[in-house]
Amino acid sequence: MAVDPVTTAASNPWANAGATTNDANKANMNYDSFLQLLIAQMKNQDPTEPMDASEQISQLATFSQVEQTIQTNSHLRSMLQAEALTRAGDLVGKYVQSADDKVMGKVREVEVYSDGVIVITEANEKVLLQAGVVFSNEPIKATPETGDGSSGDTPPSTDDPADDTMPDTI
């Protein structure tokens, strides 16, 4: 039985944020199947050479470990989903600039999908959360050189010139 790794979600908490799974149900079905097979094996074993008890215990322990791993993955996935939803809610009301510097605006809503998160500005423009997306508590200004909020390698500026804090970048 294959156990799904958690590496994708761990490296990007936004990925698979809205995904749901029924691994626990699969584990229960497999556990029931395992017990049925074990009972059938015991019923049909050769009476002159019965199955070794330590082998049975080893099989049961191995299956129990797999079942616990599946349940742990399910709990971790739930925690990552809750974290992603909380973080998504925190973005509402902030200012966003897309990674390609084409979209800027105040975040009106956030949509969480199984394959990622999209923020929607007040102008109904959509920005996919990915590397390079910039968030700020203050409006992001477009610079005259580029007209898009960035000036080469420098981060976008905010309305408050006294604010020397850097905007958040994903």
β strands within the chain, DSSP E: 95-97, 104-113, 116-121, 126-128, 134-136, 168-169
CB atoms within 10 A of CB 51: 13
39-96 pLDDT tens trace: 887 788 877 877 777 887 887 788 788 888 888 988 998 898 888 888 888 889 999 9
The one-letter code for the residue type at 75 is H
Domain ranges of the chain: 7-91, 95-169
- At 167 the three-state DSSP class reads coil
114 DSSP 8-state letter: T
102-151 pLDDT tens trace: 999 999 999 888 778 899 999 999 999 888 898 889 988 876 554 554 44
